[in-house]
Structure 1
Amino acid sequence: SAKEASFQAECQALRSENIELKEKASRSSMREDGFQKEEKIRFYTGLPSLARFTELLHFLSASVPQTHMNVLTQFQELLLVLVKFKLNLLEEDLAHRFGISQSTVSRVFRKWVHIMNVRLARFVRWPDREELRSAMPPEFKKCCHELVCIIDTTELLMERPMDLKTRAQTWSKSKQQNTVKFLIGITPQGTVSFLSQAWAGGVPDQHVTENCGILDRLSPGDVVFANRGLTAHDSVGLYCAEVIVSPLSEGRKQLDRRELDPSMELNYVRFHSERVIGALKRKYAILKGALPVTWTQHEEGSEKSMVNKIVLICCALFNLCESAVPLE
C-alpha cells in the first residue's frame, strides 16, 4: 500500500542519515585513536591519564544504553561529556568537533549526566574517623587531631530568571548576581566528603548549614572548621566548632564554638577550603559559567535538578584525581 511504501521510504531515509552521521563522526578529530597521549587526555577531560579514563569508561559503560542507532562510540560519548565539564564549550562547538548535530550533543550530555550522577555518587563519601586520622596532613595534626572536615559555602552564577520570585530568591548580596549555593565539606586530605543540594543564592549560610543535612553526618565531639557565617556566631574569620547536643535543642545537633590556642599557626588551615574549592572550579569550567535557569529546576521524573547532578559529578571526578593538597 502507499502508506506502507511511505513508511519504508522514511525508514530508509533515517538509515541513510544515520550512516552519513556515523561517517562524519568517524572523520572527526575526537576519535579514540587521537587520544592516546596523556597530555591530551588531561587537557580535554581533567583526568590524570588514559588509564583512568578507560577505568571510568569501563565502570560506567554497562549502565549506558547503546544501540546501532548511536552515532558516537561510548568512548566518544564519555569524552564529549568530560570535555563539556572541563572546558564548558558551547553545544554548537561540540557538535562541530564531534561531527554530530547540536540536538545529539544535548541528548548525549543529559543521558550520561543522569547515569554518572547515580554511579559516581559513591566517590563523594564521608570517611570514617580512623581513616581520617591515619592520613591526617601534618598541618592539621598540629592544631586539631579530632578534625573531621572543613565546611564552606560556594556560589555558582546562573542566568537571570524571568520569574520575579525566583529572581529575588536567588539574588546574592555578596556576588550582586543571581546564584545557586552549595555547602561543601572538605577533608583535611583535600577531598570533597559532603555536598549539599543546591540552595537559592539569597538563603543565609547559617540556614543552609542547619538544614542541608551535614549535622546528621557528625557525631558529638567531632570538630569542624568553618568560614564566615556558617553558624550563629558572628565571627567573620576561621573558627573551630565542636558538635554538641544541647538539652535546649530537643536533641538536635548544633555547632558550638570551641576556642583555639592563639599560638597555633592556622594560615594553612584558614585557606584550605578556598584552595580546594578554587581547584575544583579551575578544573571544571562548567562551574564558572552562568548556568541556564532550566538546570536549576527539578526535571520531570527526577528528584534532582541538572545543577545538583553536575556539581556532584564534578566533585566525584575531582576526588578521582590527585589531591589539590599535598599530604607531606
Structure 2
Amino acid sequence: MPATEVGDHQNGDDAETSFIQESHKSNLDVSLNFHDYTCEPVPAPSAIRMIETQTCIPTMTIGTQTESVQTFRSISTQTDTCEQRGIGVQAMLPTLVYEDVMDNPSKLNFYTGIPNKGLFNALFDEMGDMQEKPQTRCRKSSGGRPRALRLIDEFFMVLMRLRLGLLVADLAARFCISQAACSRLLNKWIDYLDMKLDFLIMWPSKSAVKFNMPKLFRDKFPDTRVIIDCTEIKTETPSSLQLKSLMYSDYKSHITWKSLVGISPSGHVTFVSDLWVGSISDKKITNNSGIIDLCEEGDSIMADKGFIISDLTTPKGIKLVIPPFKRGHSKFSKREVQQTRDIANARIHVERQMERIKNFRIVQGVMPITMSSRASKVWKLCAKLTNLQPPLVPH
C-alpha cells in the first residue's frame, strides 16, 4: 500500500478514535473539536449560550451543572408540547440580554439610550399591562407556541433597535428568533410604547417653566415658554411622482420627512410634531402642528430667522423672539449684534437636544420607505427617551 494511502488510513482511524474518546463529553465539546476554527481563537464553552435538555421537564443541564428552569431566561424549544417524545433537543438563548449590561451604565446607555439601571427598571415597571401570554408554559391546551423571549428581553430588543438602528435580521440572530417573529415584536412594541410613554413629553404650565428657568433665560428672556426649531430625516425615494415632489427638500437635496421640536428653557423636550413631507415650510408646519395654540398670552416663542410667524403669534398676544434682520446694506447696530449673540446662545440648546434625538441611530442615515406607517411613532419615541437624560441647561 502506498505511503500516502497508509497515512490517510491512519488519519481516519485517529479521527474515529478521537471521536470515541470524546463521546463522553458534551455535544458542545465534540462540536468544537470537529470544526476548523483557524480564523480566530475558539470561544470558551461558557461564552456560547447553548442549553441541552433531555425532555421538557423543570430542569436543564449545562455541562455538569443542573439548575431550575426558573433561574434561566425563558426560551422556546423545538417541541410542540411537553407530553411529546422524550428525545434530546437544543434551544439557543439570546447572545445579549439586559442582565449582561444592567450593572454597567455606559454599556446600558450605549445599547438602550437609558443612562442607568434605576431608570430602566422604573420604565419597565410601567409596562405592567403588557403581561406575558398564557402560552409561556409548554402545555398542549395552551394553544399556540410558547413565548420565545421574556418580556424584559423584548423591551431590551426594541430599545436596541431604536438606539443602534440594528437591522431586523441582525436582531433576529442576536435573540435567536425568526425574522418574521422579530418584525412582529418590534411593530407591536413600537405601537405600544408610543401610547405608553406619552408621559415623558408633557406641555408644562407657565409656573413650572418659570420655576425651572435657568439663569441665562431668567436674566434676558424671562417670558420664554418654548424654543422651537425644525429638523429633517432622510428617507428612501417613493415610487409616486407626486410624493417625490412633496417630499423633496431643497435644504437637504434629498427626500425627507420634517418635524418641529420644541424644548423648555431648561432643555427638556416639551413638544414634538408628527413627521411631515420635506417640502413643507417652517411657517406652515408651525401653524399645522398646533404649538401656538398651547401658548398663552404674554408668552414668548424663541426661534430662528426662518420662522416668519409673527402674523400667527401677534394676534394672540404671543411675542416672537428671533434674531434681527439686516436692512439693505446697512450694518447691525451694537445693540442688534448683542441681541443676535444672546439669542444664539440661548437657542443653541434646541439644536443640542435634536442632536440627542438623532443619537438614536434608527433616525440616522436613510430610513426605509417601508417604515413610513410608523416613522412618526419611532421619531417621537426617540424624543421621549431623551428626556431621561440629564438636563441640557445648567440651573
Q: TM-score, normalised by structure 1?
A: 0.81
Secondary structure (helix, strand or coil) at the match of 2:367 reads: coil
Q: Which amino acid aligns with 2:387?
A: N
1:313 to 353, 361, 381: 381
Distance 2:228 2:245 in 1: 26
Counterparts of 2:103 and 2:321, CA distance in 1: 50
Question: 1:30 matched to which residue of 2?
Answer: 96
Task: Confirm or deny: 8 A CA contact 2:261 2:269 kept in the other structure.
Answer: yes
Task: Please list, as runs of the form range in 1=range in 2, the aligned pairs for 1:38-187 lying within 5 A after superposition.
Answer: 38=104, 39-64=106-131, 66-67=133-134, 68=136, 69-187=146-264
- For 1:21 and 1:191, locate their aligned partners in 2 and report how far apart those are by CA, in whole Å: 51
Q: Does 1:271 align with 2:337?
A: no
Aligned residue identity for 1:53: F
Deviation for aligned residue 1:88:
0.3
Larger radius of gyration: 2
Identity %: 28
SS in 1 for 2:265: coil
Does 1:244 pair with 2:309?
no
How far apart are 1:314 and its partner, in Å? Answer: 1.1
TM-score, with normalisation over the residues of structure 2? 0.68
Q: Secondary structure at the match of 1:62?
A: coil
Residue in structure 2 matched with residue 192 of structure 1 by the alignment: 269
Mapped contact 1:223–1:242 kept (Cα < 8 A): no
What letter is aligned with 1:157?
K
**Partner-residue secondary structure (3-state), 2:208:** helix
Deviations 1:208-238 (A, max 9, x none): 11111111101122101011422247xxxxx
Output one character per residue of 1:6-42: Cα deviation in whole Å (capped at 9) or x when no partner: xxxxxx96559xxx99931x2x222343233223211
CA contact (8 A) 1:220 1:243 kept: no
Would you say how many aligned residue pairs link Structure 1 and Structure 2? 290
* Aligned 8 A contact 1:218 1:243 in 2: no
- Deviation, 1:321, is 2.0
Q: Distance in 2 between matches of 1:270 and 1:197?
A: 22
Moved more, 254-263 or 164-173: 254-263
1:123 is matched by which residue type in structure 2? Answer: L
- Match of 1:266, SS state, is helix
Higher relative contact order (CA 8 A, sep 6+): 1
Gaps of 5+ in 2: 1-77, 83-87, 137-145, 325-334
d(CA) in 2 for partners of 1:226, 1:208: 13
Contact 1:223 1:243 in 2 (8 A): no
Does structure 2 retain, via aligned residues, the 8 Å contact 1:85–1:314? yes
Answer whether contact 1:21 1:100 (CA < 8 A) is retained: no
**Is it true that 1:287 corresponds to 2:363 in the alignment?**
yes
Distance 1:23 1:171, change over 3 A: same
SS for the counterpart of 1:271 is helix
Distance 1:57 1:213, change over 3 A: same
- The answer to whether the 8 A contact 1:196-1:212 is kept is yes
- My pick for the range that moved more, 147-156 or 28-37, is 28-37
**One-letter amino acid matched to 1:309:** K
TM-aligned CA distance change 1:200 to 1:15, over 3 Å: farther
Shift of 1:322: 1.4
Cα pair 1:157 1:289 within 8 Å, conserved: yes
Question: 1:6: which partner in 2?
Answer: none
Match of 1:7 in 2: none
Aligned to 2:291: 214
* Inter-CA distance 15–315: structure 2 relative to 1 (3 Å threshold): farther
Aligned in 2, Cα 1:215/1:29: closer, same or farther, shift over 3 Å?
A: same
Deviation string for 1:143-189 (max 9, x for gaps)?
A: 21000010111111111111111111100000011001111111111
Separation in 2 of the partners of 1:190 and 1:270? 10
